[in-house]
Amino acid sequence: MIRVLVADDHAAIRAGLSMILDGAPDIEVVAEAEDGAAAVRKAIALRPDLVLMDVRMPGVDGIEATRQLVDAQVCPVLVLTTFDMDSYVYGALRAGAAGFLLKSVDAPRLIDSVRVVAAGDAVIEPSVTRRLIRAFAAAEPREPVRPAGLDQLTDREAEVLVCVGEGLSNQQIGRRLGIGEATVKTHVSRVLTKLDLRSRVQAAVLAQEAGLVG
């Protein structure tokens, strides 16, 4: 069972999201939070598998709450917001969010995204993905930057990092490398630790910037 905490400052939206998620046979909403501070406090106490986090909330907003939860390694965060704005997108990804979706997402995709993130993969709204790719492609050509931490990776971890940079899921990585999904998750976790990264999205960006992905 995937245990989810729903954080949104609008009670009606929280109720709607909870109803959708509780309707899935393998998902349980264990708590709701009306702001970022409450989301952090309840997540630390309940240790859910995932927090579904709104961005714009009073007091501690969703981006700061995401940063606190990721830094403390409490659980992955899937950001859900009405506003498809670069400042929110980049802020959420820099904070270590494992996914970013718009509130216009339909119920089946929301449920599937929760499952994907809970399994250790990343989910980004297609329109956001296209924009990030365009921004990356439009950037000035530059020499690849090789972070010092790359030298700490084993050969297998380096292979996994390349796959993450190509946007492959854990299942796809497992098939390519001939290893189980649980082993892939272990390798991804070690890669993030060694490279001091908050999420596999950041790992994918690093793989691109380091020239590991053609």
Q: What is the pLDDT of residues 165-182, one digit of tens each?
A: 887 888 889 999 999 989
Q: What is the pLDDT of residue 4?
A: 98
Mean pLDDT of 16-24: 96
Give residue-wise pLDDT tens across range 125-134.
Answer: 666 655 665 5
Mean pLDDT of 158-164: 92
Give the mean pLDDT of the chain. 86
% of the chain at pLDDT higher than 70? 87
Mean pLDDT of 79-85: 75
pTM: 0.74
**What's the per-residue H, E or C state across the chain?**
CEEEEEECCCHHHHHHHHHHHHCCCCEEEEEEECCHHHHHHHHHHHCCCEEEECCCCCCCCHHHHHHHHHHCCCCCEEEEECCCCHHHHHHHHHCCCCEEEECCCCHHHHHHHHHHHHCCCCEECHHHHHHHHHHHHHCCCCCCCCCHHHHHCCHHHHHHHHHHHCCCCHHHHHHHHCCCHHHHHHHHHHHHHHHCCCCHHHHHHHHHHCCCCC
Distance CA 114, CA 2 (A): 8
Domain coordinates of the chain in residue numbers? Answer: 2-133, 143-209
Domain 2-133 is in which class?
alpha beta
Fold of 143-209: Arc Repressor Mutant, subunit A (1.10.10)
CB-based contact 77:113 (threshold 8 Å):
no
Mean pLDDT of 46-51: 97
The number of residues making up the chain comes to 214
User: Does 75 score more than 70 pLDDT?
Assistant: yes
Query: Which one-letter amino acid corresponds to residue 96?
Result: G
% of the chain at pLDDT higher than 90? 53
User: Does 23 score more than 60 pLDDT?
Assistant: yes
pLDDT band at residue 203 under the 50/70/90 scheme: confident
In this predicted model, which residue has the larger pLDDT, 204 or 186? 186
